[in-house]
Structure 1
């Protein structure tokens, strides 16, 4: 049985490794559908056609219009990584102006397992909204990979996109997708 992973990404430097992440997820047996925030779609614009070929599905960054058919199979698990400061806070507040944030917000109510892993610097996490957002999402059942055993912020300007823990994120998605309802 094929399992479907929605891989959602915000505009943070690790997004440039998304093709490798898709290939890794596919090697683990996932059918991957890629969703991007509008900014991430702009960053990856030259690669979007190739990413659609790689996944076998259109890359989405916008809501479909009413009456349009769904372009993707139903998700077994959603992985939102990298999730920026803006995306994490919008998600926690239920501000669904972007497609990916809308889908993960609705997934909580639908009971779809969701894993989130931020990509924020140490200055952003000092803002009181961030910790509240992470805790709110965790209390709603989202597996937020932040802090020990997940993403640990770097100092501003000292990011290491090559060290972003994509493997941890895929392992958490694998775990979330092996529950009794999948």
Structure 2
């Protein structure tokens, strides 16, 4: 039995989730969380090349339509094969602040 979540962070978010695919436990839990109306914060973090895929902007828009809070700064996305230097630009602080705000709203 899994503990009850009051909010979920999806880091990094994938194309598959935005298509409603539930072929893994993680994706199944995320799709169920959407159905339960749990607050979800997603941080899609592809490299620049993947972000240019036509499905990516549509996937981000779909998540927003589903009331998922999306943190995405196109200018901070890493270059392909950037490794650790690309990881440095990840918006950890913004994610932390957003989760605190989401959880605080639940208590209000």
- TM-score category, normalised to shorter length: 0.7 to 0.9
Equivalent in 57, 74, 81 of residue 131 of structure 1: 57
| 2:4 counterpart (48, 70, 74) | 74
Report if aligned partners of 2:78, 2:87 keep a CA contact under 8 Å in 1: no
- Aligned partner of 2:78 in structure 1 is 154
Q: List structure 1 segments (4+ residues) > 4 angstroms apart after TM superposition.
A: none
Q: Which has the larger radius of gyration?
A: 1
Indicate the structure whose relative CO is greater, using CA pairs within 8 Å and at least 6 residues apart.
2
What TM-score results when the alignment is normalised by the length of structure 1? 0.53
Residue 26 of structure 2 is aligned to residue 100 of structure 1: yes
Normalised to the residue count of structure 2, the TM-score between the two structures is 0.86
The one of 175, 179, 182 equivalent to 2:101 is 175
State the number of aligned residues: 106
Gaps of 5+ in 1: 1-69
Aligned-residue Cα RMSD (Å) equals 1.9
Distance 1:181 1:128, change over 3 A: farther
- Contact preservation (8 Å) 1:78, 1:115: yes
Once the two structures are TM-superposed, the CA of residue 162 in structure 1 deviates from its matched residue by 3.0
**What's the offset of the Cα at 1:180?**
4.4
Question: Is the 1:82–1:118 contact (alpha carbons within 8 Å) kept by the matching residues of 2?
Answer: yes
CA–CA distance in structure 1, aligned partners of residues 68 and 54 of structure 2:
19
> Can you give the 5+ residue segments of structure 2 that lack an aligned partner in the other structure?
none
Per the TM alignment, residue 163 of structure 1 is displaced from its structure 2 partner at its CA by 3.0
Q: Contact 1:81–1:169 (CA<8 Å) still a contact in 2? A: no
Residues 36-75 of structure 1 aligned to structure 2 (within 5 Å): 70=1, 72-75=2-5
CA distance in 2, matches of 1:111, 1:181: 16
The one-character-per-residue Cα deviations of 1:13-46 (angstroms, maximum 9, x if unpaired) are xxxxxxxxxxxxxxxxxxxxxxxxxxxxxxxxxx
